[in-house]
Amino acid sequence: MRIKQVIPLIVFLLLALPFTSCSGEIKLASNPDKEEEAIELIFKLPELPDSIEFCGVMLKFDNFDIRERLDKEIIVNTYRHSATFQYLKRANRYFPEIVNSLKAHNIPEDFKYLCVAESGLEQVTSRSGAKGFWQFMPFTAKEYGLIVNPEVDERYNVIKSTEAACKYLSQAQKKFNDWLLTAASYNRGMGGISRDLESQNVDKYFDLHLNTETSRYVFRIIALKIVMENPEKYGFHLSENQLYNPVLTKSIEVDQSIPNLAKWAIEHGSNFRMLKLLNPWILGEKLTFRSRKYIIRLPKDA
């Protein structure tokens, strides 16, 4: 390949791999006596810790099975640059409220990473119909006190869905008395984990033979904790001004129906766009008051 053909390729690789200076290297081996250039790409494997504290328990990765399962998840999250960068940016906005709810229910702060594993801190919908940051199915959402109807879906309310998740986690912890099993049950269900423990005659998450998704689930949560608590070590360099800051809001209590939310937002110094962004749990263009008051957030500086 001649030099004039190599230069566009080098430019393409530099644009396509913008983060290699963090987690990998590009080496250009040149020889001025030849018309050809050799390009050598070197990607470094992320470091795997020997142990980590998770939910107040020191976990040791001294078993080949445990180490390799964690290794996989750390590699995945280290080299999913666009996704992991966004996790870090969103965490600065949403973690404070999530952590406050976890602490209020005596849930370890590390469960904020379960929320990242579930949704990436986005209001997403799964193929099975689970929605929101905590990925509740409709029946389970209602079971834990969330309103789900054609006008309102509180699975999209970060504060209320976090409260519902805390209720579930508290109930699971009472059942299992083990935070790893509690975390696994969020994916598999309490009944599923109980059956697996009984049928396999074990009592620890690491000893369970599980379906692929649940087998990876807790390891992904732990890997997210490792990477997000040490971003620069794993190649993610963000300055403070690149993080998403919490949005300053004012809360308005609503105890009557609102037939036109766009007009209502204008009357309160904002607009329909901001209302929908800050209150994604409101599904339509009106809000019908039934028996429970609603809290609508609008920008504080509007």
Task: Show pLDDT as tens, one digit a residue, over the chain (302 residues).
Answer: 554 554 555 444 444 444 443 445 544 445 555 555 666 667 788 888 889 999 999 999 889 999 999 999 999 999 988 999 999 999 999 999 999 999 999 999 999 999 999 999 999 999 999 999 999 999 999 999 999 999 999 999 999 999 999 999 999 999 999 999 999 999 999 999 999 999 999 999 999 999 999 999 999 999 999 999 999 999 999 999 999 999 999 999 999 999 999 999 999 999 999 999 999 999 999 999 988 899 999 999 75
**Residues 146 and 103 grouped into a single domain:** yes
Q: Which of 262, 299, 267 lies closest to 284, judged by CA?
A: 262
**Residues 223 and 113 grouped into a single domain:** yes
End-to-end CA distance of the chain: 60
**Residues 231 and 255 grouped into a single domain:** no
**Residues 175 and 114 grouped into a single domain:** yes
**Residues 78 and 170 grouped into a single domain:** yes
**Residues 273 and 234 grouped into a single domain:** no
Number of structural domains in the chain: 3
What contacts 242, CB < 8 A, 6 or more positions away? 89
What phi and psi, each to the nearest 5 degrees, are found at residue 246? Answer: -60, 145
Which CATH number goes with the domain that contains 174? 1.10.530.10
Q: Provide the token pair at 198.
A: 């009984």
**Residues 57 and 85 grouped into a single domain:** yes
Pair type for strands 37-43 and 24-30: antiparallel
**Domain stops at, among 226, 242, 258:** 242
**Domain stops at, among 200, 220, 242:** 242
pTM to 2 decimal places: 0.86
Q: Tell me whether residue 56 is exposed, middle or buried, using C-beta atoms within 10 angstroms of its C-beta: 0 to 12, 13 to 18, 19 or more.
A: exposed
Q: Tell me whether residue 118 is exposed, middle or buried, using C-beta atoms within 10 angstroms of its C-beta: 0 to 12, 13 to 18, 19 or more.
A: buried
Per the rule left: phi > 0, alpha: psi between -120 and 50, beta: everything else, 189 is: left
**Residues 288 and 163 grouped into a single domain:** no
Q: Tell me whether residue 214 is exposed, middle or buried, using C-beta atoms within 10 angstroms of its C-beta: 0 to 12, 13 to 18, 19 or more.
A: buried
How far is 280 from 195, CA to CA, in rounded Å?
A: 37
Could you list the beta-strand ranges (E) of the chain: 24-30, 37-43, 51-54, 57-60, 249-254, 294-299
| Segments forming the whole domain that contains residue 9 | 3-43
**Residues 13 and 72 grouped into a single domain:** no
Q: Which of 81, 121, 62 lies closest to 97, judged by CA?
A: 121
